Structures are given as structure tokens and as C-alpha cells.
């Protein structure tokens, strides 16, 4: 596991974004862990999160010209990632969509830079893939190309069939999905944290039951 992935999980745990216990997922599954990126909700944590997103995007080697943040969570994520990339010498444009098109002023459904070239979608997680589908349709409608999707955590568990939500997106749209960390990274992280050892068996059992890859 890369150092930035381990550091990200430690950071998420310290911010109470990553929690262990008993939780129910949207799919109705009993999960031994929970991840809520919405709790990165102050300036310092959002700045650090953007740095992790930027590092993951560069480490993946995906070529892109612009960032796109789907409303609403993706808006701040794309913005902070753009700032972090600029600090690393990669100054790229970003934009986001409105939920409803504006019919006055500048109008339209896109705020920020015009959609052009290879666009990287930035979001927190992929659940059903609905947000990705809507983003892909919007980007392609503007004549741009989707370079991939950048997310915080890949839970690596089956969706509606045998593939995970991430694998379904990759297969359906033919684009890579890059995660700062995934379930394998989480298990490796737990293995190296004696104080969290009690949760490792539960996460392993959950992966054995629902995991893919």
C-alpha cells in the first residue's frame, strides 16, 4: 500500500469520516465500517483531502485536461483537487453542473470552465453509478471526452450482480475509476494498527461475503 493511501485512511479515521461498528448500507447490508466524506467539513480537512485526491490522480497516470464535480458533493471535491493540483504544478480548469439549468445571466447548466478535452469526474464514492451516468452524458453532450472517475474510497463489493459498482462503471463506459484507497488498502491498514485489530475479522468476513476482486 502506498504511503498516501495509508495516510489517507489514518486521516479519515482521525476525522471520524471512517468509522467501525455496525452500520446498514444503502443496499441493506450490515457493514462493519462506514465512510462519510461529507464529514470533511472544515477548511483544513478539505485542503488535506484535496491533496490526497491530487496525489491519487497523478499516481494513476490517467491523462486529463480538466476536472468536473457533479452537484452537489463533487463541487467542493473538484475545486479542492484543482487547488491541490495547481500547488503541484498542474494548473487545470474545473467546472461543475447545476441541478437545474439557469435561464438568466450566463444561463446553462455548467458553472466554471467550458467542458473541453479530457475530463476527470471527481466524486466521493460510487454507489449505483447514477451520478456517473449523468455526468458522462453531460460531458459528452458538450463535445468533451470522459477521461475517468476519481473517488475517495472503493468498497470493492458486489452491486446488483457479480461486479462491483466501480467495475460496472468501468465496463459500461470504458473508463478507469481511480480511488484514493480501496477495501484491500483498508484491510492492510487494519493489519498494521493493533488498536483496531478487533475490527479486522469483521471486515474480512464482510469482504468474503460481499467482496469482489
Query: Residue 176, exposed/middle/buried by CB under 10 A (0-12, 13-18, 19+)?
Result: middle
Which of 73, 104, 142, 199 is the catalytic position?
Answer: 104
Which of 73, 102, 142, 199 is the catalytic position?
Answer: 102
At which residue does the C-alpha cell 477521461 appear? 147
187, 181 contact by CB (below 8 A): no
Find, among 127, 128, 126, 144, the residue nearest to 136 by Cα. Answer: 144
Query: Residue 126, exposed/middle/buried by CB under 10 A (0-12, 13-18, 19+)?
Result: buried
Residue 104 annotated as catalytic:
yes
Find, among 163, 160, 196, 169, the residue nearest to 9 by Cα. Answer: 196
**Which segments of the chain are extended strands (E)?**
18-24, 30-35, 66-69, 94-102, 108-112, 118-122, 145-154, 177-182
Residue 102 annotated as catalytic:
yes
Report the C-alpha gap between 194 and 197 in whole angstroms.
Answer: 5
Residues belonging to the active site: 102, 104
Amino acid at each position: 500500500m502506498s504511503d498516501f493511501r495509508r495516510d489517507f485512511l489514518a486521516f479519515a479515521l482521525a476525522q471520524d469520516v471512517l468509522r467501525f461498528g455496525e452500520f446498514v448500507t444503502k443496499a441493506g447490508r450490515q457493514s462493519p465500517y462506514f465512510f462519510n466524506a461529507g464529514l470533511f467539513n472544515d477548511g483544513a480537512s478539505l485542503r488535506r483531502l484535496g491533496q490526497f485526491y491530487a496525489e491519487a490522480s497523478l499516481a494513476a497516470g490517467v491523462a486529463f485536461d480538466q476536472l468536473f464535480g457533479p452537484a452537489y458533493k463533487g463541487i467542493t471535491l473538484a475545486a479542492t483537487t484543482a487547488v491541490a493540483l495547481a500547488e503541484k504544478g498542474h494548473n487545470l480548469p474545473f467546472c461543475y453542473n447545476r441541478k437545474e439549468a439557469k435561464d438568466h445571466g450566463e444561463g446553462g447548466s455548467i458553472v466554471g470552465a467550458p467542458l473541453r478535452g479530457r475530463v476527470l469526474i471527481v466524486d466521493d464514492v460510487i454507489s449505483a453509478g447514477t451520478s456517473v451516468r449523468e455526468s458522462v452524458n453531460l460531458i459528452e453532450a458538450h463535445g468533451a471526452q470522459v477521461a475517468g472517475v476519481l473517488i475517495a474510497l472503493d468498497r470493492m463489493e458486489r452491486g446488483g450482480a457479480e461486479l462491483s459498482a466501480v467495475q460496472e462503471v468501468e465496463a459500461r463506459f470504458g473508463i478507469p475509476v481511480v480511488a484514493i484507497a480501496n477495501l484491500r488498502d483498508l484491510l492492510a491498514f487494519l493489519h498494521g494498527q493493533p488498536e483496531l485489530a478487533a475490527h479486522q475479522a469483521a471486515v474480512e468476513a464482510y469482504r468474503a461475503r460481499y467482496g469482489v476482486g
